[in-house]
Amino acid sequence: MRNYKNFHFEGQKSDEQILIVLHRFWFDILSQFFVIFVMLFILIGSFVWLPLFFPELQNESARKFFLFLENTFFMLLWIISFLVWIDYYFDVWIVTDRRIVNIEQKGLFSRTISELELEKVQDITTNVHGVISTFLNYGDLQVQTAAEQEKFLFHNIPDPYSVKDLIMNLQKKQERKEEHIFSEMIAKKVHHEDSI
């Protein structure tokens, strides 16, 4: 397991230890960039091949207009690529020894941060659909809670089964810790009543 001692996030408690930091699987962004690469290939191809099929694009004014459209389309592709990268890079799930933190980037200027205490976890479900997802071992992880936010979704994360095991083990450890604290409180109360 990777060492996250040098990683910190806003709101992290001083004695809280980060166990894992997750981004969406690389194939997720690759599939989004594939569409952009196809559009870029069409853009470059149209710049080379369209003037051969439409000789009227050879005159000066039509060529300038065509070049303007090509540059505008290229700028739009660049902006879309940038937004896809920002969305991929800043969508983060952090699992600590106390809670799960979900940081979700929505566009350039909107970010949602939600957290879930481990003792509120009721059920965890993994969904791996398709041949590629099974072969590359990535998929969705759903954490069910009793709180207002019913589901916590980890979307297209790598190795969802080991993350599920990690969260379940942390949740059981937290339950045992709470049971131990509760039994100590009862023992103290019984001891206090016996001494009266």
CATH 2.30.29 for the 18-24+91-195 domain, yes or no: yes
Q: Say if CB 164 and CB 126 are below 8 A apart.
A: yes
pLDDT digit string (tens) for 5-44?
A: 777 777 888 888 888 999 999 998 898 899 899 988 888 8
Q: What are phi and psi of 123, to 5 degrees?
A: -150, 145
CB 122 within 8 A of CB 146: yes
Tens of pLDDT, residue by residue over 73-92, are 989 999 999 999 998 988 89
| pTM of the shown model | 0.75
**pLDDT, the chain, mean:** 84
